Amino acid sequence: MAKKKTIDFQTLLDKVQSDFPMYQALDKDGNVVNEALVPDLTDEELVELMTRMVWSRVLDQRSTALNRQGRLGFFAPTAGQEASQLASHFAFEKEDVLLPGYRDVPQLIQHGLPLSQAFLWSRGHAAGNFYPEDLKALPPQIIIGAQYVQAAGVALGLKMRKKPNVAFTYTGDGGSSQGDFYEGINFAGAYKANAVFFIQNNGFAISTPRDKQTAAVTLAQKAVAAGIPGIQVDGMDPLAMYTVTKMARDWSIAGNGPVLIEAMTYRYGAHTLSGDDPTRYRSKDMDDEWVAKDPLIRFRNYLEAKGLWNEEKENEVIEQTKEEIKVAIAEADKQPKQKVSDFLKSMFEVQPQSIKEQIEIFEAKESK
C-alpha cells in the first residue's frame, strides 16, 4: 500500500502568508522592474502627477514653518507619503467621494478644497468646513478609523443610486487596528459597495511600531476576513500606486465590491507637530533607509530619463507653490475671528432658554 502523502502545518501557513506580495513598478532608483504595472499615462499626465507630488512636499515644508510661527494649528506632516497619497488620488474622478483622515489634506485640496479653507480647518475655524457644493468630500476625520465606517455608508449609497463612482478613504497602520476599520470593510464587503480603502502603512501609530499593533504578516491580508481583495503596494512608487488604484476603482464600479490597498510608505517627520518627537522611537538608520526610497527622487529619475523633467521645471513648481501658499494664508487671515455666541447659536435648531440666555451674555461681552 502506497504511503500517504502528508504536509505539515507550517507548510500550510507559509502558503497562506506568501499570497500577499508587495507590487512595485519602479525600484528606488527609478528603474522599471515590472512593465505590467507601468500605467498608460500621457507625458502630460506624468508631468502633472510629478507636479502634484512636488507641490505636496512644498506644502508640507511651508505648513511646518507656518505652524512654528503660530499661523497654523493642527498639522500632520506628509513628506515621504506623496506617492501613496497623490498618485493614488490621481486615479480617481471628481465625482468620486473622498473621506480623508487628518493626514490626507493634500488629496483633499487636489480634490477641490481651496487651500485657504484647508488652513482654516487647521486653525479649527468653522469656515474651514463650509465646502463648495461640487466638492465630493467630507472634512478630515480626527477619530482614528471612523472614516472607514462613513466610507462604507457613502459607498453603499453610490451603489444604490447606480452611480459609476466610488467612495475612497485612507487611514494609517494604526487605524487598521481599530474596530471601525473592520466594521467598515465588513459592511462594504457584505453589500459589495463601491469603495476603495487605503492603509498608509508608515510603520508607526504615533510611536507604536507596526509589529506591536498586530501579528498579521501584512495588513493587506486583513481584507480576507471581510471577503474582499487585499493587495500590498510599494507606497513610495507612484506608478504602482496609480496603476493598482485605477484597477481597484474599475473593479469596484463594475459591481465587484470594495478593495483594500496597503501602501508601504514612511513619514519623514513627526506624527503631528503637537509634541511628537520621532527621534525617540525611530533610528537614524531607519530614516536613512527610507530616505533612499524617496518617491520624489524615484519619480524624478524616471521622468528625467524620459526627457520630461528637469531642475528648472521643478524649481518653477516650487516657486509657484510658495506663492500659492502665501496668497492662501493671507486669505485665511481675512476670515473674522470666531465668537462664542456663534458656537452657541449653531448648537440647536430650536434654542432652549438656557442657551438663549448664554448667547445674550456673550454677545454683550463681544460687543464691547
30-68 in b/e burial notation, b at 16+ Cβ within 10 A? beeebeebbbebeeeebbebbbbbbbbbbbbbbbbebbe
| Residue 267 falls in the annotated catalytic set | yes
CA–CA gap between residue 264 and residue 173 (Å, rounded): 10
Place of cell 507548510: 11
Task: Give me the sheet containing 167-172, strands edge to edge.
Answer: 22-23, 230-234, 259-264, 195-201, 167-172, 97-99
The torsion region of residue 70 among left (phi > 0), alpha (psi -120 to 50) and beta comes to left
DSSP 153-217: HHHHHHHHTT-S--EEEEEETTGGGSHHHHHHHHHHHHTT-SEEEEEEE-SEETTEEGGGT---S
**68: annotated active-site residue:** no
From 125, 271, 298, 300, active-site residue:
271
CA angle 134, 140, 145 (to 5 degrees): 125
DSSP per-residue codes, 296-322: HHHHHHHHHHTT---HHHHHHHHHHHH
Of 267, 282, 298, 300, which residue is the catalytic one? 267
Q: Taking Cα atoms as reference points, which of 219, 179, 224 lies closest to residue 200?
A: 219
At which residue does the C-alpha cell 497619497 appear? Answer: 85
The CA distances from residue 41 to 37, 87, 99, 173, 338, in Å, are 11, 12, 26, 30, 45
Closest CA to 68 of 273, 357, 226: 273
The set of catalytic residues is 267, 271, 281
